[in-house]
Structure 1
Amino acid sequence: MSDKIVCFGEILLRLSPPNHLKIFKSKAFEAHYGGAEANVGASLALMGCDVNVVTALPQNELGASAESEMLSYGMRANIIRKGERIGIYYFEQGASERPGRVIYDRNSSSFSLLKKGMIDWKTIFKDAKWFHWSGITPALSQDLAAVCEEALIIASEMGLTISADLNYRPTLWNYGKKANEIMPNLIQYCDVLLGGIDDSENCLAIKTTEEESFETVYKKWHAQHPKLKTIVSTLRYNANASSNTIGAVLWSDSKLYQSGEYKISHIIDRIGAGDAFMAGLIYGLINWPEDPQKTVEYALAGSCLKHSIAGDINLASVNDITALMNGSTGGRVIR
């Protein structure tokens, strides 16, 4: 695919205790690299897309290792070398009724030091067709919110399609601003939005009630942000840490599309499942712009497969995803 996609966000080192151990008793940790926007980019690159990830990393062995990992998926990288540390998060895998747990250690990371004017967005967006970001970045600092706005203004002026995942993380919004004070100004530039309707007031300052339908809520979002062409929510039912039933709803041109459902009976790793969905959504909107139903089914199938893959990044190919989407289930060995 020739359309260049640019993803902007922090690459993190993830440390997880093996075998579902709890952090406070673990003597060893498994290492993975990821991050919401990089996860989307890596998945898209594995699908054959031309992807450029924009981030900041330290000039040391960990920075080099993270860069090498991102390049291994087929992405290109624009990396600002700054600071001395990579952001880290610790993930304790849940099981059954014991929930998973994330502990962040990303203060003063290289990415957190970025400020407006440090990134040459006009050069990065040259020949690009798509820009993806998420609500995690403006949650980290006022400076990073300003960098996001800077990128969005230039991407909008240059005619790129812009997608965002609300990715509301309450524990990250701790610099004196609430998400609903920052995000509405940024979402106004977006064409595609992924987010749960339960985050409407927290992220968009739009009040909703439990009785309102998806269609009613999405119309409220569109009224406030008329540039939005596509709005999507993922759904989880009967969920615990080991099994979920998942589905999705997509709204486009004032029409609602409901996906099928997958019952996932044994979750290997659910981190990055939303990013896998976002990658599938972008892929579908680029390849099948006239078929929203196919797009939402493809995105959901990709998210389903991610639950079976360890690490942050969905390693499923287009063939893997379309096979599941077309009914190839049952766990048979492919010979």
Structure 2
Amino acid sequence: MKKKRIINFGEILLRLSPPNYSNLSKTNFFHAYYGGAEANVAASLSIFGHESIFVSAVPLNELGEGALGELRFHGVNPVVKREGNRLGVYYFQEGASEKPGKVVYDRESSSFSKLSRGTIDWQLIFKDADWFHWSGITPSLSQDLADLCEEALVAASNLGLTISVDLNYRPTLWNYGKNPVEVMPDLVKYSDLVLGGMDDSLICMGIDVTQTDTMEVVFDKWMKKYPKIKRIVSTQRYDANASSNMIGAVLWDGYTFLQSKKYKVSHIVDRIGAGDAFMAGIIHGLINWPNDNQKALDFALAASCLKHSIPGDFNLSTAQEVEALMNGASGGRVIR
């Protein structure tokens, strides 16, 4: 396996979920986990065997210590500012069958939200690094964080790092007076690998889509507008409800439109973090099989498939477990 030094930038959050599919408004108990999109990617990459660095900010209190401890437990090296008074929180009401899941964010005035341009030494952090991963969640939180994200991207680009982004459009987070299309294009232009879907085209990329446009046509438009992009990947869900999904994925490299195999994921334990598991999987796959996009795509989807069976935000599957599923070891049999 090829091992790389990968920098991940974002906010780690405390997640609180009512047990037994209870409603948030009716519960007296919560299961607690630590997670968040970029932290989930960082943890998975570390479990896959990479040197995974997570750049963030947490408060100097027990919750901050808990978040850092969780990252370190999974082999992630946190490089964080210890400032501010609170860790961001999100509440997740699990869905079941036709009842949808629901997320309520409580991250205003968190330690991470106080970061701004000039508060992080990117030259030092990117020293000897190979890859930088960010997501559209960070610039959705404030103009200061969007500016800081741009600062990081300029530094990473100047140093020649490979850059990946999960567009991660969350409409409830864009509350500071800017729309994604006013912010994201100036950030996405630095990226080599993009995870997103057709719905993101106008909202995040500033590119209109007609009713007759195929996914291949839309992604080709993205590459023409943003020439640094080398690959675009997208996950897909079919015949989906909250308990059972058919999942697949596609990859476009400007020449060939690839489709993954599909998995029927029934009895979903926890779908939060499945997209992040895919993101970590495609990064790992492209590092290890840079000339085999199909294998990288299949690895990423297998990683996402396994995450659906794991409670909490993090995908705890090893690269060997993902490859086993990718190579046909399915069926959930007991390994003895």
Paired residue for 2:70? 69
C-alpha distance in structure 2 between counterparts of 1:43 and 1:2, whole Å = 13
Q: How far is the alpha carbon of 1:2 from its aligned partner?
A: 3.8
Distance apart, 1:199 and its partner CA = 1.3
- Give, as a single letter, the amino acid of the residue that structure 2 aligns with 1:140: L
2:49 counterpart letter in structure 1: G
Report the TM-score when normalising by structure 1: 0.99
1:160-193 per-position Cα deviation (integer Å, ceiling 9, x unaligned): 0000000000000010000011000000000000
Q: Does 1:298 align with 2:299?
A: yes
* Aligned twin of 1:128: 129
For 1:157, the aligned partner's letter is N
Match of 2:154 in 1: 153
Q: Which amino acid aligns with 1:334?
A: I
- Which structure 2 residues correspond to residues 22-33 of structure 1 after superposition, within 5 A? 22-33=23-34
Deviation at 1:210, TM superposition (A): 3.4
- What is the rounded CA distance, in whole Å, between the counterparts of 2:42 and 2:141 in structure 1? 20
Letter in 1 for 2:105: Y
- The one-letter amino acid of 1:301's match is A
Q: Partners in 2 of 1:202 and 1:97 — Cα distance? A: 27
Within 5 Å, give how 1:1-335 maps onto structure 2. Answer: 1-335=2-336
CA distance in 1 between counterparts of 2:131 and 2:207 reads: 27
Q: What root-mean-square deviation, in Å, do the aligned CA atoms of Structure 1 and Structure 2 show?
A: 0.7
Query: Which whole-Å deviations, capped at 9, do the CAs of 1:87-125 have from their partners, x for residues lacking one?
Result: 000000000000000000000000000010000000000
Q: 1:65: Cα distance to partner? A: 0.6
Q: State the 1:253 CA deviation.
A: 4.0
Q: Deviations over 1:140-167 (max 9, x none)?
A: 0000000000000000000000000000
Give the SS at the match of 1:52.
strand
CA distance in 2, matches of 1:185, 1:31: 36
Letter paired with 1:250? L
Gaps of at least 5 residues in structure 1 are none
* Bigger shift: residues 1-10 or 113-122: 1-10
SS of residue in 2 equivalent to 1:53: strand
Q: Secondary structure at the match of 1:26?
A: coil
> Following the alignment from structure 1 to structure 2, what is the Cα–Cα distance between the partners of residues 210 and 255?
22
SS at match of 1:23: coil
Partner SS state of residue 257, structure 1: strand
Give SS of 2:43's match: helix
Asked if the contact 2:59/2:86 (under 8 Å) is kept, the reply is yes
| Partner Cα separation in structure 2 for residue 112 and residue 27 of structure 1 | 29
Structure 2 CA distance for aligned equivalents of residues 330 and 35 of structure 1: 29
Q: Which digits, 9 at most, give the CA deviation of each residue in 1:211-263, with x for residues without a partner?
A: 21121111100011000001011001111100111000101142111111001
What is the count of residue pairs matched by the alignment? 335
Deviations 1:63-101 (A, max 9, x none): 001000011110111011110000000000000000000
For the residue of structure 2 that corresponds to 1:79, the secondary structure is strand
Counterpart of 1:76, as a letter, is: N
Q: CA deviation at 1:320?
A: 0.9
**Alpha-carbon distance in structure 1 between the residues aligned to 2:100 and 2:212:** 28
Q: Is the 8 A contact 2:243 2:266 kept in 1?
A: yes
